[in-house]
Amino acid sequence: MTQLMGRPVLGLPGELGTRSVLADVLTGVRAALLTLAVIAVPVLGLWVLTPYGDDTAAGAGRLACALWLLGHGAPLTRGGPAVPVTVTPLLSTVFTAVLLVRTGARLGRRDRNPWRAALGVGAGYLAVAAVAVAECGASGALRARPLLDLPAVAALVGLSLAAGLRSAAGAWRPALPGWAARVPDWAVPVDGGPAVRRAAAAGGFGLVAAGGLVLTATLLFGGGAAGRSVQGLGPDVAGFAGLLLACTLLLPNAVLWAAAYALGTGFAVGTGTVVAPTGVRLGAVPDFPLLALLPESGGPGGPGWRLLACGLPLLAGLVPAVLLGRAAAGGRGAEAAPPWHPAATALAALGGSALAGAGAALCAWLAGGALAAGRMSDLGPAPWPAGLAATGWLAVTAVPGALLVRWWLTRGAAPSWWQRITACTVRRAAATRIALHRVLAWAAGLRSPFAWWRGRP
């Protein structure tokens, strides 16, 4: 009894082995304040360093709240005519999602009723979001839209917590529909769901790595324009730090734009514009260091090395091919799963490529947005062309690569389908030759030389 009374009240488990609702709500508030502090601390630091700042600390706080909401995918407005601002700084989004996924995973491992605890955490997080929306709803450089911002924050929080709870619960095996029972066995890989998901994740990371390589090469060979933009926009320490913060928050967006460039579909920097390896058509763009790296308008997509970027998505399909090929080869030992049929292997590679393409379309949609009305209302890659291109590039490498790895790993094991077909053809040819010899011997009136085969002397 003494030990129980000495514990903190908020951490005391209830009758079902779970914490109190207030503890879960405070956990959500703490997570929201932590993600808000990641944005607010640099913004307030820049406000302190700015020598000619005419804004107050309250204005800097409203700006931090607006950027925090923007990092959740919440649309904002600026200016008198309510110009939309919907470009999401994905670095803040990734940090928030990872933190909430880890929170959901802890809830799933600790509580017997994790979904009730997740509702409490989400309620606490949304309480902080409601305060942020109220803070920047009426004044400030960026103004919130409550009817759209709160659902956007709730969607990110709910999906992240659900992903964490699902990861703690183990692998998800959904029930198959009725028509799945009519699919032939040779077209269905044995326990191929986890392998397909791993291959899709590997393909997606490969495409992101391709975008990172393109962006790095652009910085190495064209960083002079970005440096001149920084000198013009941020001549002092505070201006340089502000540009560095903005470029850091938008760095994942730039990587995804570069990945769309490598896929060949390119991206837009305004209505009616395109930046792709096949050609560049641009108008006037805002003076910003990342936008200063764009190739010049009116020509091809840049130097010859940029055309080589289109080969990077092919390399991104090598790891999924190896993963699916190893899974298709089965395992070793008496209790190992049998190898997949070649058709099932090809279908699994196509499924993994399509799943990675769907993820590429989602990332392309998240990386774009609008900075103003009219011409600057179309920024970033187009989702569906990027998804289709990602599916095609990955499938070109993953399908034959998975079949090749499967054949290589099973060449010394049980006879493959090609070996079985060859052996059957050889047996049928031998039987046909024997029958032909019998017929010829009978027609010539001679004793059949194959009488020993029938058991006669």
pLDDT tens for the 457 residues of the chain, in order: 344 444 444 444 444 445 688 999 999 999 999 999 999 999 988 888 776 555 778 888 899 999 999 999 999 988 767 788 999 999 999 999 999 999 999 988 887 788 889 999 999 999 999 999 998 876 777 888 889 999 999 999 999 999 999 887 765 565 555 555 566 766 677 777 888 999 999 999 999 999 999 999 888 877 667 777 777 776 677 778 888 888 999 999 999 999 999 998 999 998 888 888 888 888 788 888 888 888 876 555 555 666 677 888 999 999 999 999 998 887 654 456 778 888 899 999 999 999 999 999 999 999 999 888 778 888 999 999 999 999 999 999 999 999 999 988 887 655 555 556 666 666 777 777 677 766 666 666 555 444 444 444 4
pLDDT reported for residue 291: 87
The answer to whether 67 and 78 have CB atoms below 8 angstroms apart is: no
The answer to whether 295 and 275 have CB atoms below 8 angstroms apart is: yes
CA angle 337, 191, 326 (to 5 degrees): 60
pLDDT reported for residue 329: 86
Sheet holding 83-85, edge to edge: 83-85, 76-78, 143-144
pLDDT reported for residue 5: 41
pLDDT reported for residue 9: 42
